[in-house]
Amino acid sequence: MPPPTELLPGTLDLLILKAVSLGPHHGYGVLLRIEQISGAALKIEQGALYPALHRLEHGGLLASEWGVSENNRRAKFYSLTTAGRKRLRSERDGWERLVVAMTAALATRPEEV
């Protein structure tokens, strides 16, 4: 397994939104889910996760609810709001365009210029 890649700036929010869109999670769950869906290729800086969660919640993209975790503890579960869903869509479109453009750019050979 190749060593995990550092996140590009700005991508953490997108990953969190994506992770939460697959079902409500508490913070640790979000972390695990991201690792899972990225095939453990992306390393989440734990110190960045919680501020990001709170920022998204504060921005109205995530909603939260207190519930009980698998180990029977009080846990805060995050879920996607409508605004969050919209944001996820637009960010994903943007990301896909970026990836296409980056791929095309990086695949360019000298004679094509």
Partner 1 sequence: MLSRLRALLRRDKFEHDLDDELRLHIELRAADLMRAGHSKEAAERQARLEMGSRERFKEEVRATAGIRFFDELSQDLRYALRVLRQSPIFTAVAIGSLALGIGMNTALFSVVNTLLIKDLPYRDADRLVYVTEYWPHEPVMPGPPSPDFASWRAHLKSVDGIAAYGGGANALNLTGEGQPERLQGTMVTSQLLDLVGCTLAVGRNFSTEEDQLGAAPTVILGYGLWQRRFAGSPDVIGKVIQLNGEGRTIVGVLPAAFAFPDNNFRHELLVPMALPPNPNWHDPEHFRALRVLVRRRPGVSLSALKQDLASVLQATAAEEPAQMVTMRKNMEVRVTPLRLWLTGNVRTAVLVLEGAVAMVLLIACLNIASLQVARAIARKKEIAVRAAIGASGARLVRQLLTENLLVCGFAGLTGLVLGYMSLGALRKVLPVNLHLADTLRLDSSVLAYTLGITLAAGIVTGLVPALAALRTVIHDALKEEGRSTGSRGQHRVRGVLIIAEIAAAMVLLVGSSLLIRTFLRLASANLGFEPQGVLTLKVAPSPRKYPDAAKRAAFCKQIFENARTIPGVQTAAVGDALPLVGGGGFAGTSFEGLPQPPLGGRPSLPVAFVSPAYFQALQIPLLRGRVFTESDRQPAPLVALVNEAFSQEFFAGNALGKRIEVGSREGRWREIVGIVGNLKVQGRGPTDSFLVYVPIEESFDPETFLILKSSLPPSGLVGAATKAIHAADPAQPVFDISSMEDRVSDSLSTQRANMTLMGVFAALALILATVGIFGVIAYFVNSRLQEIAIRIALGASGRTVVGMVLSHGMALAAAGIAAGIGGALILNRTLGSLVEGIGTNDAVSFVAASLLFGAVAAIACSIPARRASRVDPMVALRHG
Q: Interface with partner 1 by CB under 8 A: which residues?
A: 26-28, 31, 46-47, 50-51, 54-55, 58, 66, 69-71, 73-76
Tokens 């009080």: give the residue: 74
Contacts of 75 (CB under 8 A, 6+ apart): 26, 66, 67, 68, 69
Q: How far is the CB of 76 from partner 1 (least distance, A)?
A: 5
Identify the bridge partners of residue 67 per DSSP, sorted by sequence position.
75
Whether 33 contacts 42, CB under 8 Å: no
Q: How far is the CB of 99 from partner 1 (least distance, A)?
A: 28
Helix, strand, coil percentages for the chain (3-state, nearest 5) = 55, 15, 30
Q: How far is the CB of 67 from partner 1 (least distance, A)?
A: 11
64 versus 92: smaller Cβ distance to partner 1: 64
18 versus 26: smaller Cβ distance to partner 1: 26
69 versus 108: smaller Cβ distance to partner 1: 69
